[in-house]
Structure formats: structure tokens, C-alpha cells
Amino acid sequence: MPIRGILYSFNGGELSRRMEGRVDLDGVYDRGAAEMFNWVSTVEGPALKRSGTRHIRAAAASSTWLSSFVFNVTQAYVLEWFEEAVRFFTNGAQIESSPGVPYEVAVPYAAAEAPAISSVQSFDRLYLAHENHAPASLTRTAASTFAHETLELKNGPFEDYNSNKARTITLSGTLTVGGSATATASTGIFDTGMVGSPIIIEADDFSDVKAWEPGYDGITVGTKRRSDGKVYQCTAVGSDSRTGTVQPTHTSGAEWDGTDLGQDINANNAGGVKWEYLYDRFGIGTITAVGSSTSATIEVTRRFPDSLTGAASHKWALGAFSDYAGWPKLVCIAFGRMIFFKGVEIYGSVVGDYGGGQVNFAPLTDSGLFAADMAFRRRLELPDPPLWVRADKEALVIGTARGEYLITAINTTEPVSGDNLQALPQSSYGSAAVRPIQVGTASLFVQRGARKIREAEYTYQRERFVGLNITVWARHITRSGIRQLAFQQEPEEMLWAVREDGVLAAHPHSPEQQVKGFSRCALGAGAVISSVAIPSDDGAKDDLWLLAELDGARHVLKLADWWEEIDARDHADENALEAARSAAIKDAFFVDYGVSYDGTPKAEFNDGLDHLVGREVWILADGGVVPPQVVQASEPRITLPYEAGKVHIGIGYYARFTPMRPEVRGAPTQQGLRKRVVRALFRLIDAAALIVRDPASGRDERLIDRPGSSKMNEAVPLFNGDTENKAVGGGYDRNGQFTLISDAPLPAMVTAILPSMEVEQ
């Protein structure tokens, strides 16, 4: 008597071959598949045939990467990066500068550098960092225009101050803001790669300027005095030319130090002198030219002390960012600061002082003092430089080649600053140089080796971020390596990983259901290079965009909307239900690189087929499947056997699903015994054109029979419910498996399979 079983969930996904003997794992083996190709697991359990891909536009020949710019949930953009330029897509189409001409913005990045660009968005500005280029921003200037500009890094950042007293600098020329000065060094310190970078020079002392004191007379216009670490010059005097009692501390303009009215406590005239702020202990400039290793021209951006023209100073520091010193690799926004990473060093801007294309890296106050809210630079105690960074509440999570770390305050009651910062080890998995993504409250990152995806989330029990390997049951799924992650949150919660071989790994990511399933999704032809998800035009769902290569040319594609089943409970009667299904099947999009027509019925189509020349295409016309045709190069067109008003044309793809070797619970194990599946019942939702293949005999059985009364130029009827208990083929082997195949541009969803199996004892 045949043994009957049930496969009730497929969200275990395609399992590694190492799992073929793990029949003991409830919720894994019994929900897994030996193959899930162009099917995806769903959170609830069914297996769903993946949607097709729409052809949006031919990409630039050198395109290498897609990224996102999300201004808000209804205004989102896909950025296509190629050789020293970027293009933009929104509302399902490419932005054009004129009809047929893509709108482009010039950028300094080579096509090969684009995947390594670090970015963080703040309102309408996307900040960019790459170790080969100066930090920059890409700004949305209007709904369809953008501008790229190099960031103006004001007042720094700087390397460590020189500690060798024999290496000094003197200045000559104009030391006021906007002036040009010449810096002369006692030994070679300058390089042409420093042009454009800042320099800070501090006076050794103010011995050439007398101190300000109250109640001193004899002050004349032009007199200089120092006070509170700053130098002031008299611009006006009171009746007695006597200093007042209010010490000058201002950092700009001119102020009186007394009222010049009445008498002081010693019965002397109160006095009053007007003091104009000149400078303090240090000045800052930008190196504009390098004449030699000991001479450079400086444009003054913060006035230098006059004493530097006569007294050499060893208190100086060169810029930390330049072609000579190197550029930062990563950028983020945290702690109210713009944060950069270069090597194992972290650089924080002045709190709240960034935006509008400028970032303030002033390390000292106007009085020449360090303060908690000023810019900082710290060398982190890390074995390797960070490869990625992500802000998380009041901390930063970073990944290096040998571990993951949390950057946070030492004293959590005080803000993070240069003196209140630490890097705490979280895990030692090590990371690949793949940008992580945030899904809900967790961070998903790729482990060193680019073959494992880990889900990191803070746990209060361990007081650290814990990264769980979500590919543990399907180690083969990412064997070729991962280059990019993307996540669709609506309507299907789907994580996508772009593999190095151009195949997509799909995972229905739902922590609540602990879904383990991965599947492989490959285009009907060509390979995926990059992928990114952005909100749809109305913000109700997320669209997955792809950069793909076909026959040596590159194209931008968009995953068609996920098939959503037609529920009988939403319709008044059977006629309304069938009408809804008939309308839905006309919109079914299950071809790749596909194009659509929606208009007056016709039989010939020749628009948008150039990229399909020489390819056999599948066709769905008004919901009816038309025999495949080859798009001829002489005249790219297809001709239908009947007129249709809604047509989808593209490269076909097959979807294959093979369950694991059967194991019926509650019965003696069937593993290793010769067996055959003689019949199987399939519980389906909105399915059509499915084949059951018996690998042992090679026999195919059409699972759903098209009604004889159904006309070929009408929509394919969608099957819902349990199929007949179909014969599967019946060849004996030790596997007892079968394969479910979709071989037409039509939808399919499988909720359960009930096989009947005979076993030879």
C-alpha cells in the first residue's frame, strides 16, 4: 500500500547537499528543497514563482553599479554609475536632458571605483567618500536635476602636530584672511600632492605683545595687547586713554573695555578703550602651490599671528586629507557630526557644523583651546581598517576584515568626543567589503570570504551585537561570493544578494517566522551585475532595480510586481471572481528583459525590441500564451496570430522546484530504500502551465489541463485548489523525488504537495 505524506511549507528553501541526511531537523529538512530555482520561499510557507524583469533602458557601456537616493518615500531615485558620470532613474523611467538623451552628471570616479563609494544621505544631499578622491556630495537641486561638488573641508582636519623642534616654519607676505603668504620650512616637508590641503601654524608665544590690564593709561590708536589668548588692536580711546575694567575676550569685530563714564573704586576715571580682534595663537591656510620641499604658497583662511613673520615656530600640522596624505574611505553621520574613516583613524567634524557643501573640522576654539564639541581625530585600537560603517542609535557599528566593533562613548552620560570615545569588540567573524543593509532593527552584513550573510542585532543578555549566520543551512547558495545586498520590504519581505556569477540569491526575511529559505534566481539570459531597492512611485511598495549584462551590452531592468493572489472572499460571486482573474492574468509579467504594450488591439509589434534581436522570446497576449518567436535583426518585430491589446514580450525563463528526499513522519525511515512516487496531489493558488517531471524515468506529466472549451486567444484559466491525484511517472530509485516546472510566462504558487509513494523493503 502506498505511503502518503504531505509537504506543507517550503520556507526552508534550497538546502545545502550537506543537509541531505538531516531528516531529524524539524522545520528545516521537512520544509526544504533540493532545488528552488526561480521560485522563492514566502514568509507564510508557499513557494512562489518569481516575477519577470522589465527592460527600462539600455545602460552605459561602462556601467558597473546601482545605488539609491531616497528623498522621501514618493521621490526616490536609482543612480547608475559608469565611467566618470552618473545617470538617474525615477518613476519607473530614466531622467532625460532631452528626448532620448539620458541626463548625466559628471563625477570623478572611474567605473571600477563605483562599488567602493561610501555614502550617507542627509535630506537632499548624498555625501560621498572614496579613498582615491576628495570627499564630495551629490545634491538634488530640483526634481530632475543633481549637482556633484567637492566638499569644502574648513579648518582641517589635521595630522598630529609636529613634535620635532628643529623642524620649523616662518611666514612672509599677507597674513590676514584672503591674503597670500609664503611658508618657509627649515627642512623638507612639502609635496605637490598637498596642494588644496590645509595647514595650521601656531605661534610659539606672544612675547612680542604686552598683556592687557585694567586701569592703564597712555593707550593710543594702533596699540596691540593680548588678552585671553588673543591679540587685539586699539581703534579708539576714551577721554583719558585709559583701559577699562572689562577684559576683552571677543573673537570678532571691536568692543569697548569700559564705559568712560564716572570714576572707578579708586576714584580714578573709569576709562575705556575700543579693541578690535586681530588674531589668536594659531592661523590656518590652504596650500595653493608648492615651490619646493621647503617652500609653499598659502591662501590665508584664518589670520596668522604677526610674530610668525619674525619668529620660526615648530608648532604646525599638515592636512590629514590630500592626494599626498590619502583620502577617507568611509563616511557617515553620527553624534551630530560628519564622520570620516581613513585607515584606522576616525575624524569627527565640529558638532552640528556641516551642510551646504561645507564641513567644519576646526580642532580648537577661537581661544586656541580644545573643547568637547570641536572636531577630533582619534586612532582606533583596531587590527584592520574599517570596511563598512553604520550608525546605530548612540553608536557606530563597523566591520573590519577580522572583526566587528561598536564605537561609543566611554562615559555614556557625556556626548561622544575626541576624549570620550572607544571601540568595543563585538564579534570576530570578520567582514567583506560589502555595504551592509538594515532590516528592521538588525544589520545584515557579509562575512569575510563573501559567502556568509550575518544578521547582527544588539542583545541585552550578552550586552553586545550578535551576528547570526542566516546562510547556515544553505552554504552553497553564495559559494560564488556576494557583491551587493538589497531588501524589498513591501509587499514581500525579500532579501536579495547579488552573486559574483550574476545569479541572485533570494531570502524571505522575516525574523518573526524564523524563515530559513534561500533560493536561486537567474535571468533567462545574461547576468546581474548590481541591484538596489527603492520605494515605488506611490511609496506603497519597494521596487527592485537591476543592472544586467546581455550579449556584451548592459541594461537597467526592474523586477515586475510580485503576483498577489486573487481572493474569492473579495468578490461578490463566481462571475466577479472569474472576471478579476481574467483581468489579472493579462497583467501577468513572467519574462525577462521584457517590454509591454497596452493599447488598441493589434497583431504586429516592433517598438522596444532592439535589445532582443536574435533572441527567442516568449509572448503573453491578452493573457494567452503565444508560441515563441525569434526577433529578427532585419526588422525587429513579432507578429501575433491574433490582435491583442495587452502584450508582454521578453526572454523566457524556467522555474524548477524539487523537494528533498521524502521522509514520512511516524513511519519507519524511507531513506536509502528504493522507492517511487506514483501519484501526487498539488494544492495551488492562481497557477497555470505546470509540469511534473520524474527524474528516474524522465517522464513529464502536464499538471494542469487547459479546458477544451478555452480558446487559445483568451486568457489562460488560473487553477485554484487541489489538482487531480496525478501520476508522476513511477520510476524506482533511492531518491523518490520529482521536479515541478513552470515553462510558460504564467504565475504559479504552491501551498502544499501530497505525494503517494511505494517503497521496496
Give which of 292, 285, 101 is closest to 186, Cα–Cα.
292
Report whether pLDDT(717) > 90. no
Q: Is the pLDDT of residue 514 over 80?
A: no
Which residue type does 593 have? Y
Band (pLDDT 50/70/90 cuts) for residue 617 is: very high
- pLDDT confidence tier of residue 367, bands split at 50, 70 and 90: low
User: What pLDDT shows up at residue 523?
Assistant: 98
C-alpha cell at 183: 611658508
**Residue 380 to residues 146, 372, 465, 662: CA-CA distances in angstroms?**
36, 18, 19, 54
Whether the per-residue pLDDT at 1 is higher than 70: the answer is no
| Residues 370-402: tens digit of each pLDDT | 888 999 999 999 999 999 999 987 899 999 999
- Residue-level pLDDT at 396: 93
State if pTM tops 0.75. Answer: yes
The three cell numbers locating residue 4:
502518503
Q: Which sign does the torsion angle of CA 298, 304, 308, 310 carry?
A: positive
pLDDT per residue as tens digits for the range 169-196:
999 999 999 999 999 999 999 999 999 9
Res 144 pLDDT > 60: yes
pLDDT in tens, 434-478: 999 998 888 899 999 999 999 988 776 677 788 888 899 999 999
Cell numbers found for residue 87: 545617470
- With cut-offs at 50, 70 and 90, classify the pLDDT of residue 259: confident
**Mean pLDDT calculated for residue range 415-434:** 93
Question: Is the omega angle on the peptide bond into residue 662 within 30 degrees of 0, that is, cis?
Answer: no
Share of the chain above pLDDT 90, in %: 69
Determine the Cα–Cα distance for residues 647 and 540; give it in Å rounded to an integer: 25
Residue 346 CA to residue 386 CA, distance in Å, equals: 10
Listed range (129-133, 394-398, 479-483, 522-526) with the worst mean pLDDT? 394-398
- In whole angstroms, give the CA distance from residue 40 to residue 28: 16
Which has the minimum average pLDDT: 37-51, 235-249, 721-735?
A: 721-735
Alpha-carbon torsion, ordered 608, 611, 615, 616, to 10 deg: -30
| 506 bridge partner residues | 496, 519
Q: 40-54, 229-243, 480-494, 661-675: which range is least confident on average?
A: 661-675
Q: What local confidence, expressed as pLDDT, does residue 465 receive?
A: 80
345 confidence band (pLDDT: 50, 70, 90): very high
What is the residue-averaged pLDDT of the chain? 91
Q: What pLDDT, on the 0 to 100 scale, is given for residue 466?
A: 82
56-88 burial string, b = 16+ CB within 10 Å, else e?
Answer: bbbbbeebbbbbbbeeeeebbbbbbbbbebbbb
Strand partners of residue 452:
none
- Give the largest Cα separation in the chain, rounded: 122
- Does residue 13 register a pLDDT over 60? yes
In the block, residue with C-alpha cell 504565475 = 747
Q: Is the pLDDT of residue 665 over 70?
A: no
**What is the model's pLDDT at position 268?**
65
Dist CA 378 CA 69 (whole Å): 31
pLDDT, residue 682, reads 93
Q: Give the phi and the psi of residue 38 in degrees, each rounded to 5.
A: 65, 15
pLDDT at 627 over 60: yes
Question: Is the distance from CB of 36 to CB of 29 less than 8 angstroms?
Answer: no
Q: What's the whole-number mean pLDDT along residues 77-104?
A: 97
- Residues 552 and 11: their CA atoms lie apart, in Å, by 36
Residue 708 has pLDDT above 60, yes or no: no
759 within 8 A of 673, measured Cβ to Cβ: yes
Assign 709 a pLDDT band (cuts: 50, 70, 90). low
In the block, which residue shows the cell 513572467? 590
Confidence tier at 729 by pLDDT (50, 70, 90): low
pLDDT for 624 equals 92
**How far apart (Å, rounded) are the C-alpha atoms in residues 221 and 663?**
100
Residue 229 has pLDDT above 90, yes or no: no
Q: What is the DSSP string of 120-165?
A: EEETTEEEEEETTEEEEEEEEEETTEEEEEE-EEET--B-PPP--T
pLDDT at position 713 over 60? yes
Are 290 and 296 contacting, i.e. CB atoms less than 8 angstroms apart? yes
Element (H, E) at 580: helix 574-586
For residues 648-671, average pLDDT: 85
Query: Nine-digit cell at 712?
Result: 487559445
Q: How far, rounded to the nearest angstrom, does the alpha carbon of residue 647 sit from its chain's CA centroid?
A: 35
Q: Which residues, in sequence order, are CB contacts of 63 under 8 Å at separation 6+? A: 80, 81, 82, 111, 529, 547, 554, 556
- SS3 call for 729: coil
Contacts of 142 (CB under 8 A, 6+ apart): none
The CA dihedral of 184, 188, 189, 191, to the nearest 10 degrees, is 100
- What's the confidence (pLDDT) of residue 706? 65
Q: 3-state class of 564 per DSSP?
A: coil
Please tell me the distance from the alpha carbon of residue 373 to that of residue 395, in angstroms, as a whole number.
16
**Selection from 452, 468, 473 nearest residue 16 by Cα:** 473
Three-state SS annotation for 394-430: CEEEEEECCEEEEEECCCCCCCCECCECEEEEEECCC
The residue with greater pLDDT, 302 or 727, is 302
Type of residue numbered 710: S
Q: What is d(CA 235, CA 223) in angstroms, rounded to the nearest whole number? A: 8
Burial class (CB in 10 A: 0-12, 13-18, 19+), 580: middle
Going by DSSP bridges, is the β-strand pair 403-408/422-427 parallel, antiparallel, or unpaired? Answer: antiparallel
Residue 28 has pLDDT above 90, yes or no: no
Collect all residues with Cβ–Cβ distance below 8 Å to 256 and sequence separation of at least 6: 244, 246, 272, 273, 274, 275
Task: Name residue, grid cell 567618500.
Answer: 129
What the block records as the C-alpha cell of 512 is 518573526
Cell representation of residue 638: 513579432
pLDDT at 742: 95
CB atoms within 10 A of CB 758: 16
606 or 369: whose pLDDT is higher?
606
Residues recorded for the chain: 761
